[in-house]
Structure 1
Amino acid sequence: MPLRTPPKGLVVPDTAVQPKRRLRFPSFTVQVLLGLALGVLLGWVALQMGPTADGTPNWLTTTLDTIGSSFVTLLKAIVPPLVFLAIVTSIANLRQVTNAARLAGQTLLWFAITAAISVAVGIGLGLVFQPGSRSTLDPAGGSEPSSTGSWLDFLNGLIPGNVLGLGAGTQVTPGDDGSFTATTSISFNVLQIVVVALVIGIAALRTGKAAEPFLAFNRSALAVVQKVLWWIIRLAPLGTLGLIGKAVATYGWDLLAPLGTYAVAIYTGLAVVLLVVYPIVLRTNGLGVASFFRGAWPAIQLAFVSRSSVGTLPVTERVVERNLGVPRSYASFAVPLAATTKMDGCASIYPAISAIFVAQLFGVDLSVTDYLLIAFVSVVGSAATAGLTGAVVMLTLTLSTLGLPLAGVGLLLAIDPILDMGRTAVNVAGQALVPTVVAKREGILDLDRYASASAENLFTDDEPAADDTTAVGAEQDAVSRDVPAQREPVRTA
């Protein structure tokens, strides 16, 4: 049969060449959930395997630990340059320091408001659950911690020892053969980095044209650091797998039995603050609850598995900007400050319930004045211990202020890692909440971006075009001139 020639002018598609289909991966949220589920499964398998013959962790536990700790180490490594560069750039672009001071005041005010509500929840649940009276622990088995909190920690942590806010410590470990092994580690204090960046940013602002080359370099360096951060965040599903797997393999749930009522009280308080108090604050300020949790989810889930507010800081700052619509000029200051001073889980709920537990366990009757002291320490003490890590520091500050025995801390350390997961998640949720609320009240929140908040927004518009500089500058100028970026009236608390 002869082949027919197509009519003249008719275009016949070439079916011989088909475009290659690109492999589509699940969304970032699904990837994280898969990593979480697989991590629990592998952690359970490692738990069933048990330790090796010589008492060391088995190969699966070691692998999960290596994966999880490596991811957190990468996040912590990016914190110093990210915080420094972002704050210097934002302060220099604000044009007026007075507006930054007002925003800082509003931020601290809402830190205190939410902390006061959280500690009230903790005290109430402590009185309802009576965790110390229902515990089977022997008070004689307690021991004082190696480090305690002090009211002078704020001054000690506020003044930087060097321009980078870095410190080094050496730990000497004796060996079985009489030898000693020295290990030197470098650490950083986020609060000190914030102080240094604020001073340098203000100095650059006051210097004028002579500082323009420095600011141009700073903006370029910030773009490079944010690209590296984007690569690290993409590893979050793998990091989640390792972190939650290590937690399940190491701790299990057997340690909860003697402190069951205490643990239930802590997690009930965390749930009330996260799922009741925070939604009320959002609704009171005209913000959707579902949009907030959709946008903040990547930071909250990472905080839960990593147990580190500082390690989660880069992700928290990114979700506050990209997902929740807070201007970078404000978020780059508020989020690092919140990571060191805003801890509703570790500094409000946990010390309140724990102090009541220790008092009941040791037979100490607390008066109304003591409960007021608990509230005062929770609201102010988190700032006093800013820059210091660990909820134990805040707990020891509370106990020492009330005159309660510090030996009670040793009784709680057995299940502290299990509690710390929930505490850190609430910490980070609050660290994202306050900048969002303040931005809404000041009329600088991107309401369209907030309404469409999603975990996937974390990776959108990662590299703004060169001609977007004007738009970014206009947004920052709107903040500095008190001109609302949205159709929202400027209000004060």
Structure 2
Amino acid sequence: MASKKLSLTSKIVIGMVAGIVLGLILQLTIAEQPWVQTFIIGGVFTVVGEIFISSLMMLVVPLVFVSLVLGTSALSDPAKLGRLGGKAIGLYLFTTAVAITIAIAAALIVRPGDGMNLTSDASFDAAEAPSFGQVLVDMVPRNPINAMAEGNMLQIIVFALLFGIALTLVGKPGERLKGFFEDFNVVIMKLVMLLMAVAPYGVFALMARLFADMGFATIGNLLKYFLLVFGVLIIHGLVTYPAMLKVLTGLNPLIFMRKMRNAQLFGFSTASSNATIPVTMETATGKLGVNNAVSSFTVPLGATINMDGTAIMQGVATVFIAQVYGVDLTLVDYLMVIATATLASVGTAGVPGVGLIMLAMVLQQVGLPVEGIALIIGVDRLLDMTRTAVNITGDCMVTTVIGKSEGQLDENVYNDPKADTKLANDNRNEESTANT
């Protein structure tokens, strides 16, 4: 009975804390034992964690495609779709520029790289980032089915937008097909709710494996850098976003942050904005009250191009690496870093290892050695988890702002602290009715 009274957020937090504690205990005691590595860390924890991540990713493509088709078909005016796109891209790029500016300023004040001499054995093989022109070409899918199979978000978004527009223009056949997509969307959202119910166990396995494998010496050597990046991420997530929300909408930012907890925990545990899309969309519509016509477009787009957390890492890492190598960057160099990182947030969307690839681009742009990335790889996993939580918070903030500006935000739902509870109760009532 007591467990039923716990909210999903509480269960996820318990699973996360329990996983961290168990992982640390294993790290300090028997983690090096072969049977522990094989059967516990590499066995149970890895299998459960990977199944959890795979089940999240399983829903991403159908959810994004179906929701975006429905959202686009609901916007009968093509000009409105263009306006939504302009607002979303503009706000995402603006928040990214603000994020990296704050990061550079903080790094110049704290100077995390002073006194370090770790360059002798540093090496990093940077993957080549695509050109901006190639990005534009790659946005249009030659084979939509292949794009869905590979999870290429930009191509899926473009195809879904075109499909939704065509659905609106064909009249009655489009109306019949739209009914199918509406039913499909209901089924997908039910799958999301079922997956959220088992999330605490997946989070537990992911945290236990991570902390059982992570060495304390790695964090200790880069503690100043780690704490600075972490601190700037927290400031951006807890100060910049709420301040922008208040200024642009007048809504209570405390309500927003309270309703973001589940999505943030999912993002933190998975370290993947794409994997968290189902939970982010459920938060935007079910808890924040944004119409699906807006959230189905802005959330997948944000998961693809909104890289505020990564931009913060790039800003601090650029200054850190410059200080380690004794390179003095000029004001023009810093402005170049801001511009490059902001535009690269779109340019490298969908590329594996996007954070390190973007950082390699930035370092090359200002003449810093790319091999300096090797200095920060050791602690990047933990920071990547925090970056993802910040990124999805930004996705929902921008979605809420656009929903408000377009008159597509239900403020009664936004201000209702039990909106998510009511949604869960409605689902349970539907199941009870079906059973009877």
Q: 1:286 to 1:134 in 2, by over 3 A?
A: farther
Q: For the pair shown, which has the larger CA radius of gyration, 1 or 2?
A: 1
| Contact kept in structure 2, 1:46 and 1:60, CA below 8 Å | no
Unmatched 5+ stretches in structure 2? 431-436
CA distance in 2, matches of 1:405, 1:156: 30
| Contact kept in structure 2, 1:320 and 1:432, CA below 8 Å | yes
* Structure 1 partner of 2:433: none
| Contact kept in structure 2, 1:292 and 1:453, CA below 8 Å | no
TM-superposed deviation, 1:280: 1.1
Report whether the alignment pairs 1:422 with 2:402. no
Normalising by structure 1, we get a TM-score of 0.81
| Contact kept in structure 2, 1:322 and 1:457, CA below 8 Å | no
| Contact kept in structure 2, 1:149 and 1:394, CA below 8 Å | yes
Report whether the alignment pairs 1:459 with 2:424. yes
Match of 2:255 among 291, 312, 315: 291
Report whether the alignment pairs 1:86 with 2:50. no
Describe the SS at the equivalent of 1:140.
coil
| Contact kept in structure 2, 1:135 and 1:259, CA below 8 Å | no
Name the one with the larger helix percent.
2
* Structure 1 partner of 2:204: 241
Report whether the alignment pairs 1:377 with 2:340. yes
Q: 1:28 to 1:340 in 2, by over 3 A?
A: same
Please say which of residues 312-321 and 143-152 is displaced more in the overlay.
143-152
| Contact kept in structure 2, 1:67 and 1:242, CA below 8 Å | yes
Residue 344 of structure 1 aligns with an amino acid whose one-letter code is: D
* Structure 2 partner of 1:105: 86
Describe the SS at the equivalent of 1:66.
helix
TM-superposed deviation, 1:74: 0.3
Q: 1:443 to 1:364 in 2, by over 3 A?
A: same
Normalising by structure 2, we get a TM-score of 0.91
Describe the SS at the equivalent of 2:150.
strand
| Deviation by residue 1:196-253 (Cα, 9 ceiling, x = unmatched) | 1111111111222232332222222222222222211211111111111112111153
Q: 1:296 to 1:98 in 2, by over 3 A?
A: same
* Structure 2 partner of 1:171: none
Describe the SS at the equivalent of 1:215.
helix
| Contact kept in structure 1, 2:267 and 2:385, CA below 8 Å | yes
Report whether the alignment pairs 1:27 with 2:4. no
* Structure 2 partner of 1:489: none
Q: 1:458 to 1:253 in 2, by over 3 A?
A: farther
| Deviation by residue 1:116-159 (Cα, 9 ceiling, x = unmatched) | 2111111101101212224342x122212342323335235413
Q: 1:80 to 1:464 in 2, by over 3 A?
A: farther
TM-superposed deviation, 1:164: 2.6
Report whether the alignment pairs 1:149 with 2:129. yes
* Structure 1 partner of 2:49: 68
TM-superposed deviation, 1:269: 0.9
Match of 1:269 among 212, 218, 232: 232
CA distance in 1, matches of 2:175, 2:358: 42
TM-superposed deviation, 1:341: 0.3
Describe the SS at the equivalent of 2:260.
helix
Describe the SS at the equivalent of 1:132.
coil
TM-superposed deviation, 1:60: 4.5
Describe the SS at the equivalent of 2:4.
coil
Report whether the alignment pairs 1:400 with 2:390. no
Match of 1:191 among 132, 154, 161: 154
Please say which of residues 70-79 and 448-457 is displaced more in the overlay.
448-457
Match of 1:306 among 259, 263, 270: 270
Q: 1:384 to 1:351 in 2, by over 3 A?
A: same
* Structure 2 partner of 1:123: 104
Match of 2:288 among 302, 317, 324: 324
Match of 1:204 among 137, 150, 167: 167
| Contact kept in structure 1, 2:72 and 2:164, CA below 8 Å | yes
TM-superposed deviation, 1:87: 0.8
| Contact kept in structure 2, 1:107 and 1:438, CA below 8 Å | yes
Describe the SS at the equivalent of 1:364.
coil
